Structure 1
Amino acid sequence: MTADPAVRVVIADDHPMFRYGLAAALRESGEVDVVAEAANGEDLLAAVERTSPDVVLTDLAMPGLDGTAATRALVARHPGLGVLVLTMYEDDQALFGALRAGARGYLLKDADRTEIVRAVLALAAGDAVYGGVVARRIVGFFTGAHRDYAERVFPELTEREREVLDLVALGCGNHQIAARLVLSEKTVRNHVSSILFKLQVSDRAAAVARARDAGLGDGGRTVKDGPGEGN
């Protein structure tokens, strides 16, 4: 009988002492091998290409390419890679942005070593892991807090505009939105135009990207509606 190989991990954080402490804690477990460290998103992408880890631990706030953008790029290139976000940010926008990008784990930096090691091993096995505070936010979002969340993320929009944006992010065209909200298509077009102006985005696709990054659009599920529509 041979021991199971250690889980190969890359750590990304722009604070050297935090990386040092985290790497030491992971290695002490005897189940994790830290194969590379990175101080920003660009270095993280290069380290993953060079070392082929099982799991990546990344902060969100890093210079240059941030953790969310790096996660999106990593998951696109390596669909089976487990990305665990380890951050100080527990707000909904950071959380749902990371999950939209493809992270399968999200812990706060006050998690203890045992919890972090357990999360790394779970991601390596293909599972998803969220800390207690984060899990409660996710449950709250899907059990009734969705409207309040949208109001906090996009306070510049009216309640009706947030409803329209949510349906746009879901993949609905103007005709479907009009039918669902019992509005005329002209009114829907006016709402969409107002949304683009208030969010300072150039087109519908950019608005959808903003909305989905913020967690709107029912998990990114799309609705068939024939040919694409303009504003």
Structure 2
Amino acid sequence: MTIRVLVVDDQAMVRAGFRMLLSDEPGIEVVAEAATGREAVAHAARLHPDVILMDIRMPELDGLEATRRILATDSDARVLILTTFDLDDYVFEALRAGASGFVLKDDPPEQLLAAVRTVASGEALLSPTVTRRVIRHFAGTRHQAPPPGIADLTSRELEVFELITRGLSNAEIGEELFISDTTVKTHVTRLLQKLGLRDRAQAIVLAYQSGLFQHEA
């Protein structure tokens, strides 16, 4: 199955570079480019790409609002935020808007390609650095009431959920709990369904907004 990608960045050279890299990769197709958030929203509505590489700072409509509008009409879309450094001030807003992950513009090509495939598969891409920043951001804030679905989680699903909020991958969770990668995926899928969440990114934000788990940053 071919992964259809929309590249969004206000710099033509950056878009050209991403198009060249992605188009050379088997199983990935760049279906369109956009230079503004408004163009991104229009292309997404018309083409329904699997993954949207979204720059944040753009004219007319920034990447955050473009992400919100795209996901409001297509909940299956996966947005991978492009940042210039990993301490971007927009991390929290992007997560709340529904972004599934973050990629640095100067990351090695293999990392970008892996990120596109990861997000396209329905998983979120959150580095431990980003996860720690989420923890710090919500530490000491007034917590919201946990969603009703929390009561429906099994003890194992709660264990998996807690490890997700630490930024662990499926493989790392499997090693921690001595279960297979397939079993981890099953638990992750079920807990997301019970909580009505799209992916790990939303799960992490929900956990810390609700104060479900206490971790040190």
Query: Would you call these one fold, judging by a TM-score over 0.5?
Result: yes
Task: Supply the AA of the counterpart residue of 1:20.
Answer: A
| Aligned equivalent of 1:137, options 94, 119, 130 | 130
Work out whether residues 45 and 70 of structure 2, in 8 Å CA contact, stay in contact via their aligned partners in 1: no
The equivalent residue for 1:120 is: 116
Work out which of the two has the higher radius of gyration on C-alpha atoms and give 1 or 2: 1
Unaligned runs of 5+ in 1: 151-162, 172-214, 223-231
**Superposition TM-score, scaled by structure 1 size:** 0.60
Matched, 1:29 2:22: no
Residue 57 of structure 1: aligned partner: 53
Task: Tell me the residue number matched to 2:4.
Answer: 8
Residue by residue over 1:98-157, the C-alpha shift from the partner in whole angstroms, topping out at 9 and shown as x without a partner, is 111100010111112111111111111101113xxx532323542xx347xx8xxxxxxx
Q: Secondary structure at the match of 2:89?
A: helix
Alpha-carbon distance in structure 2 between the residues aligned to 1:170 and 1:92: 25
**Cα RMSD for the two superposed structures:** 2.6
Q: Quick check: 2:118–2:125 contact (8 Å CA) kept in 1?
A: yes
Give me the whole-angstrom Cα distance separating, in 2, the residues matched to 1:141 and 1:85: 16
Separation of aligned partners in 2, 1:92 and 1:216: 17
Aligned length: 154
Q: Which residue of 1 aligns with 2:144?
A: 170
Hey, what does 1:206 align to over in structure 2?
none
- Unmatched 5+ stretches in structure 2: 146-203, 212-217
Q: Normalised by the size of structure 2, how large is the TM-score?
A: 0.63
Change (3 A) 1:218 1:30: closer
Q: 1:41-190, aligned counterparts within 5 Å?
A: 41-91=37-87, 93-130=89-126, 134-142=127-135, 145-146=136-137, 166-167=141-142, 170=144
User: Which residue type is aligned with residue 32 of structure 2?
Assistant: A
Residue 14 of structure 1 and its aligned partner are, at CA, apart by 0.1
Instruction: Please give the alpha-carbon distance, in whole angstroms, between the structure 1 residues aligned to 2:55 and 2:133.
Output: 24
